[in-house]
Amino acid sequence: MNTPPFQVMHLLPDISRGGGQAVVLELVANCDRARFQPHVARLAAPDDMAAEFTAAGCVPIDPRERGPGLLGGLVRTIGDLGIDLLHVHSERDRKLGQIAALLRGCRLSDTSTPRGRISNRCTGRIPKSWGVGSRG
């Protein structure tokens, strides 16, 4: 049985030189592409590591280019790419990632805290009182 690769999106506040970005670059460059297809999205500039991510086979995504707005663009990107797991890496991208994962019904991995965890809570239904409607 040939299983398609698991779609993983790493959400970063930016892709400037830093420890977290270097760790994600190593993950992207060395993951088993038969099992995992990595994607990287950034919330803001700077993006001085863009060439390195691209060379590792993962062109950084700016969700605002897919709009409307940052959240709308992130939700649309997750859906368009069929993301299975959204991985947030810092406090700055945690809340936006949690909301986007909830709206799209994908799993969320949160390593922005010392007790990093994978949450399946984001696969639940969105309350009707939020006015978003159900996911199909």
> Which one, of 14, 12, 64, 73, lies nearest residue 38 by Cα?
12
Task: List, for residues 45-99, the tens digit of each pLDDT value.
Answer: 888 999 999 999 999 999 999 888 999 999 999 999 999 999 998 888 888 999 9
Domain ranges of the chain: 8-122
What's the rounded Cα separation, in Å, for the pair 120 and 127? 16
> Side by side, which strands form the sheet with 85-88?
36-42, 6-12, 85-88, 107-110, 117-119
Position 19 confidence tier, pLDDT thresholds 50, 70, 90: confident
Instruction: Record the pTM.
Output: 0.81
Task: List, for residues 93-119, the tens digit of each pLDDT value.
Answer: 888 999 999 999 999 988 876 554 544
CATH T-level fold of 8-122: Rossmann fold (3.40.50)
